[in-house]
Amino acid sequence: MKTPNLFIPGPTDVAPEILQTMTTPMIGHRVSDFAGLFQRFKTPLQRLFFTKNPVYVSTSSATGVMEGSLRNASKKRILSCVNGAFSERWFELAKANNRAADALSFEWGQAVKPDAVKKALETGKYDAVTVVHNETSTGVMSPLAEIGEVAKKFPAVFLLVDAVSSLAGAKIEADAWGIDVLLAGSQKCLALPPGICVFSVSPRVLERAKTIPDRGGYFDFIDFHKSWEKDQTPNTPVLPLLYALAAQMERFEKEGLENRFARHVQMAKICREWGLSRGFELFPEKGYESVSLTTLKNTRNIDLKVLNKALKEKRNAIISDGYGKLKGVTIRIAHMGEITPARLQALLGWIDEELTGT
């Protein structure tokens, strides 16, 4: 099978050498050999998160930890910042878990505004606020550092952040920005297969979790912490993915985190400039464009099914249609993980070939 050129917002391409590590023979996950594997990614993950707090690994999609964070971090009421499909999902998860929650809504394409968050928190109604840093449904990246500064003014409020499609593509300083829970899935900028979620948790969240009797079982943060201290996971881990995670952390350190962040910024610039020069418009609010994917208004009324059919047949490549209510309205080109500027420019050249004359 030919390796596909995935320019979609997940799953993303996985390097061949990373895939190869997943064929490593199995070991017992409650023996000393597993502790050695765990230690290979334990500290590197803290460096990636820019935190001194533990970074846990869950055998689940990020959605599981999104749900777990609501159950472990809130006893009172949750403020859900909603500006796209995935932030809407977090709000719906709160209601599904019988947690009191209100939506602070923004138009799709708009960023979460710190002043609006501040005004809502000043009511004193909330003890947690959820923010999706990078909305892949719209291509919007909200000003997380500024939102963190607002949250710091409310010591009883915990800041919970979904960085599923931005962690390892954008610099996120969990400690400096006052983030209490920061989570990311493996299949986006981390450039691993789907199936694990990595997440940091502040000590004050752990303290609150101890006072919550219905915080759940599989995503009990207290259990995660006890296991982390012993270089273990609370439940049976997906060993092949942990081998891949360990190897990927080594590749990150070889590239250099700052270089990795700069590469994503460079690709975003290339893609935006290409789109504007080809008669498209950017969908996100100006100044809040994602660095891991570019979302264009389909102002040229391109038939994406036809375009993708040609890209797949000729180049084994694929880009994304709009998500949810934006299907047919926007075009999304992801440039995250293992994508390089040269590969992105090749894709844009292939698209130019197909659009000539349209």
Count of structural domains, the chain: 2
SS3 298: coil
Confidence bin at 124 (pLDDT 50/70/90):
very high
Residue 73 pLDDT exceeds 90: yes
- Final residue before a domain boundary, out of 225, 254, 283: 254
Task: Look up the pTM and report it.
Answer: 0.97
Q: What is the CATH number of the domain that holds 266?
A: 3.90.1150.10
List pLDDT tens digits, range 148-194.
999 999 999 999 999 999 999 999 999 999 999 999 999 999 999 99
Domain match, 137 and 63 both:
yes
Domain match, 248 and 268 both:
no
Domain match, 218 and 312 both:
no
Domain match, 317 and 238 both:
no
Domain match, 321 and 212 both:
no
Domain match, 29 and 100 both:
yes
Q: Answer whether residue 277 is part of any domain.
A: yes
pLDDT at 230: 97
Q: Answer whether residue 142 is part of any domain.
A: yes
**Residues 6+ positions from 263 with CB-CB distance below 8 Å:** 340, 341
Q: Answer whether residue 239 is part of any domain.
A: yes
Secondary structure element (H or E) that encloses residue 304, with its range: helix 304-315
Q: What is the CATH number of the domain that holds 240?
A: 3.40.640.10
Share of the chain above pLDDT 70, in %: 99
pLDDT at 357: 64
Secondary structure element (H or E) that encloses residue 209, with its range: helix 203-209
Q: Answer whether residue 237 is part of any domain.
A: yes
How far apart CA 351 and CA 335 sit, in angstroms, is 15
List pLDDT tens digits, range 301-357.
999 999 999 999 999 999 999 999 999 999 999 999 999 999 999 999 999 999 996
**What values do phi and psi take at 177, rounded to 5?**
-95, 0
Domain match, 206 and 264 both:
no
SS3 102: strand
How far apart CA 198 and CA 264 sit, in angstroms, is 20
Q: Answer whether residue 17 is part of any domain.
A: no
Domain match, 55 and 130 both:
yes
List pLDDT tens digits, range 84-105.
999 999 999 999 999 999 999 9
Mean pLDDT of 8-33: 96
- Final residue before a domain boundary, out of 220, 254, 288: 254
pLDDT at 193: 98
Q: Answer whether residue 16 is part of any domain.
A: no
Report which of 259, 245, 239, 265 is spatially closest to residue 186, judged by C-alpha positions: 245
List pLDDT tens digits, range 256-288.
999 999 999 999 999 999 999 999 999 999 999
Q: What is the mean pLDDT of the chain?
A: 97
Amino acid at 160: L
Confidence bin at 17 (pLDDT 50/70/90):
very high
Asked if residue 205 lies in contact with residue 221, where contact means CB atoms within 8 angstroms, the answer is: yes
Distance from first CA to last CA of the chain, Å, rounded? 32
User: Which domain does 177 fall in, by range?
Assistant: 22-254
Domain match, 223 and 175 both:
yes
Domain match, 237 and 331 both:
no
Secondary structure element (H or E) that encloses residue 18, with its range: helix 16-21
pLDDT at 358: 59
- Final residue before a domain boundary, out of 204, 222, 254: 254
Confidence bin at 1 (pLDDT 50/70/90):
low
pLDDT at 3: 81
Q: Answer whether residue 346 is part of any domain.
A: yes
Domain match, 127 and 232 both:
yes
The encoded tokens of residue 180 equal: 């209490």
Q: Answer whether residue 151 is part of any domain.
A: yes
Asked if residue 117 lies in contact with residue 129, where contact means CB atoms within 8 angstroms, the answer is: yes
pLDDT at 278: 97
Domain match, 27 and 160 both:
yes
